[in-house]
Amino acid sequence: MDPATRIRELRQLLRYHEERYYVHDDPDISDAEFDALMRELSALEAAHPDLVDPDSPTQRVGGRPAEGFPTVAHLEPMLSLENAYSAHELREFHARLCRALGVAETTPMPYVAELKIDGLSIALTYERGRLVRGVTRGDGVRGEDVTPNVRTIRAIPLSLSGPQEAVPAVVEVRGEVYFPRADFQRVNDEREAEGEPAFANPRNAAAGTLRTLDAATVSRRGLRAFLYQVVLPAGSPLVAATHHATLAQLQAWGLPVERHHRLCADVDAVVAFCDEWRDARHALAFETDGVVIKLDDVAMRAALGATAKFPRWAVAFKFPAEQARTRLKQIAVNVGRTGAVTPYAVLEPVRLGGTTVQMATLHNEQEIARRDIREGDLVLVEKGGDIIPKVLGPVLAERPDGSAPWVMPSQCPACQSPLTKPEDEVVWRCDNISCPARIRRGLQHFASRRAMDIEGLGESLVDQLVTLGHVHTYADVYRLNAETLAALDRMGPKSAANLVAAIDASRTAALWRALHGIGIRHVGEGVAKALARAFGSMAALRAAPVEQIEAVPDVGAVVARSVRAFLDDPRNQGVLDAMVAQGVQMADAQGGDADTLRAFTGKTFVLTGTLTSMTRDEAAATIEALGGKVSSSVSKKTTYVVAGAEAGSKLEKAKALGVAVLDEGQFQALIMTSQA
């Protein structure tokens, strides 16, 4: 078989199997067999690049991170939905529709009930059957164009199925991008291993992921989608006369439609559907927080119209937050990587929201006192939109005799260091940088990609190293050897050698990585870079008075005091000295601008379009090395916009604001002049 024929055959096979998996939830082949077909197609396309097609299943992941998202107008506004919280309110909704249509409430009025997906609204535009654009809801009138990221979601077909004459020339399909429960848990586990905060719920995670500028990251996370609405340009013929027929058409086009939707003959059937799914929803592979009820007849919808905010023909029934009663066995405290000590509830196991709950948040000492929550209480626990349940308060009538108000520990439970709390804060802290609890969490962050970038030093290994006493401080990481590492669980000579090499490479990491990694409160990546630009070395920063630190752009008084307090702690000083003794350079080659200003100090750059002589990351690193700052948005404070090929809306905004624009040649000349 010639390559072109086999490539066409493989593309058709892969599209078929994607539809079986994502649309019909009924795969014909295993994941391994699917991957084998994908690898075969990738190899053929690599060998015959002239046969690569943008709609090929291999072309879903873009190669370069985006610079930002332009906004795009929707064909018609994406409105919100009015909420209902009871059967009574659902019947009131039905009564309003009947009055508006001038019919009796007993008139048969079919509705379609759909599970409300807890995700991010999306609008997909297909032209001549091919996906050309994916846009978030935004403000309802305009949304962010996230097309490169949408293309990575395998549930969304790049081209619609069926005869092309049956597909509108232009059609906007709306729905929800969401995180399956299993993928959400996997991503949160990965984030915690990297020292990053876990997503609070799948909705936030989906929104954050779809707005990620790196399409490869979006692809790895495993987003899915359900589609449920068709919007056509003015004057176009209807796709179908009813909503349930529209859903069938979406499926016929190969689009994923949530399969539990139901055509309900009347409002009583709608109420029954909502009651049915109140508990049954916990068995689903995705989160749902309610039911969307829509009038089935499209002509009636048009007659009802919409208010400025809501369509009159639809309503969202919201499931109530689930609650349960259980015994509070203990109020324990958790020590985070920056030393924050927060209380949490240890509960007798109780079923809540489809899962067994044994722990819940208590927020802080003040909240415990305000609600008078005590150990031994029978408490009311709620699980609403967030993943982590919370304790609402005690059942006072069931309080056992002899209970006493809870008192915050005065010492860290992990290292016995005295806890401290500034007068203007509510959180107690352990200031010991070598605290075992802090070091467990802190090491995961220290080794993460956005800090010291020590590949292989993950959560499981960190736990072993701390438990066995091999690592007490960040400096101890640089004392590890291959023999020690190879003896650990799930490690061997090769893995140990690779980790030692990664640790060695991190000794010469940029200063901002060390500043970000060591866990100074309020010092994230941006502040770390600002401090590194200003001082150039840890030694210079350690010698700087708080006023000098505060004067650094993007720092300010609160951060400056936090940095100074961290550096003044003798225990932290000892760790930093030990890191230097182990060869961690903690100084940038070009030095800082605390004493000598560099060429780009005080200048803000915005990069847009494609540069041919360097990547955008390389351009940003060069700007920062010369003391400048790189921003993602154009404002009157922007010094230069560097415009490469195919520059977009940022270039137009720069011109409108009168901001200086440099082409690539002018940018290169400015760099050469500044480095001279």
Report the half-sphere exposure of 587 (CA within 13 A, side-chain side).
11
Task: Assess contact for 531 and 548: CB atoms under 8 A.
Answer: no
- Edge-first strand listing for the sheet containing 314-318: 83-84, 314-318, 288-295, 111-117, 262-264
Neighbours of 275 (CB within 10 A): 12
- Residue 358, amino acid: Q
Task: Assess contact for 23 and 256: CB atoms under 8 A.
Answer: yes
Which tokens sit at 671?
């760099």
Task: Assess contact for 313 and 110: CB atoms under 8 A.
Answer: no
Q: Is 116 a catalytic site residue?
A: yes
Specify the DSSP element, H or E, that contains 15. Answer: helix 3-18
State the Cα angle at 174 between 169 and 175, rounded to 5°: 145
Task: Assess contact for 497 and 480: CB atoms under 8 A.
Answer: no
Q: DSSP for 496-531?
A: HHHHHHHHHHHTT--HHHHHHHTT-TT--HHHHHHH
Task: Assess contact for 119 and 178: CB atoms under 8 A.
Answer: yes
- Residue 647, amino acid: A
- Edge-first strand listing for the sheet containing 604-608: 629-631, 604-608, 640-643, 660-662
Alpha helices in 60-178 (DSSP H): 87-101, 147-150
d(CA 577, CA 475): 9
Residue owning tokens 């081209």: 159
Q: How many helices (DSSP H) and strands (DSSP E) are in the chain?
A: 25, 22
Long-range contacts of the stretch 652-657 (C-beta < 8 A, 24+): 654/606
Nearest to 671 by CA among 622, 628, 629: 622
Task: Assess contact for 67 and 300: CB atoms under 8 A.
Answer: no
Task: Assess contact for 317 and 94: CB atoms under 8 A.
Answer: no
Strand segments, DSSP code E, in 319-389 are: 322-335, 340-352, 355-361, 378-383
d(CA 588, CA 508): 9
Which tokens sit at 609?
């379009």
Q: Which of 116, 294, 529, 629 is catalytic?
A: 116
Nearest to 194 by CA among 437, 453, 434: 453
d(CA 590, CA 475): 24
d(CA 519, CA 451): 10
Catalytic residues, by residue number, are 116
